[in-house]
Homo-oligomer: A and B are copies of this chain.
Amino acid sequence: MEESDFLDIAIKAKEASKKIAVLSTELKNEALVDIAKAIEENKNVILEANQKDLELARILVENHELTQSVYNRLKLDENKMRDMIQGIIDISKLNDPIGKVLLKRQLDEGLILTKISCPIGVLGIIFEARPDVISQISALAIKSANAVILKGGKEALNTNKVIFSIINGTLEKISGFPKHVISQVFSREDVNYMLKMDKYINLIIPRGGNNLVQFIKENTKIPVLGHADGICHIFVDKTADFEKAEKIIIDAKTQYPSACNSVETLLIHKDFELAEELLKALEKAGITLNPEPDSWHKEYSDKILAYKFVNTLEEAIEHINEYSSGHTDAIITEDKSNAAIFLDCVDSAGVYHNASTRFADGFRYGFGAEVGISTNKTHARGPVGLDGLTIYKYTLQGNGDIVKDYVDGIKHFKHKDL
């Protein structure tokens, strides 16, 4: 694709974003229900396309050019298809995040300020192998009234193309639904074009490793909702309950080791008396303990757990604020005051007391779905659902009101919330 072709896609997406911004909740939900139905009806076509991708991927895995974990994420099955379909239906049932009145204030008699939620505009989403992401992101974009340009992983090319054409084929049949709300691009070059289109694209969400996120941040003026590494910590305090510690650490490390909310580093208070027993229990659960990591910044994505002893709660907090990726960090303690200090002082998107870091997830938080997990300190943080895809505008309803009257002291602001 030439840059001018991408520009054409971006311009059409911008136009589409203006039209979907004012679409009724009913029409958006109708579109979602229809997409879910169409995916259900075309399940076999999707699985066949996925089979093609899997055959190519299998060769890459055999040649060590692709990891088994990417292969697993690429593979669709009946369960994943059911989740995909249910996910879209779930999003159709969520409240419309657009048009919510966030503030209504009488500035003065007959002068009413309203802060109202609205879509961001055009989203650029860059994601890796998982083809089930397309339907989820498309559904979130439709519900939040944003247009979206999707760039999927090349491994999932056949699957992505089929899902994309099912979605757009469905949307075309819905009377009044704007064209070009969902676009798809395929090549690595397209990512470079995307980064330049700050006139048309309002937010880029890279769903991938830290390197991808850093590359994108360095090469665009467009705001980036970062979904970077997950270097999550668990601190076992002096008064930790042994059973809770054992259960939580095993869950956080072994339940899904390649997830970004898995724990990578264990900090143990030097006065926690059952430390030896705890470490043995973790090894028994199949965890490889690493007391001398090359770096405390490492994400293992495997059943490997770095650990060290600390002298105080403060030392644990300092270590975490230095090495955590700001994703999710937990304390295990029976001391409520220490828990409160930890929750206050650890500067991460999720800070937990006596719970597994694996809870950091849009579905588990009850957001219905997530576009990713943000470790940003602006706009949206933690699991990002529909609300993170909105912004707001201020409307002001007057009756010939001018500022001079207030500057001259003829009139005075009331600032009364309604």
Q: Which residues of A contact B (CB under 8 A)?
A: 18, 21-22, 105, 107, 111, 113, 118, 120-121, 198, 202-203, 214, 217-218, 221, 223, 225, 241, 243-244, 247-248, 250-252, 255, 321, 339, 343-345, 347-356, 358-360, 364-366, 376-379, 381-382, 391-404, 406-407, 413, 415
Contacts and interface: CB of A to CB of B under 8 A. Distances in A.
**Oligomeric state, in copies:** 2
A113 B366 CA distance: 10
A350 B394 contact: yes
Contacts of A251: 402-404
A386 B127 CA distance: 34
A416 B250 CA distance: 27
A111 B355 contact: yes
A397 B366 contact: no
A275 B18 CA distance: 30
A382 B395 CA distance: 11
A358 B402 contact: yes
A416 to B, nearest CB: 9
Contacts of A415: 366
B353 A202 contact: no
A22 B402 contact: no
Contacts of A221: 214, 217-218
A43 to B, nearest CB: 24
A107 B364 contact: yes
A364 B21 CA distance: 28
Given A202-B378, A378-B378, A393-B382, A353 B18 contact: no
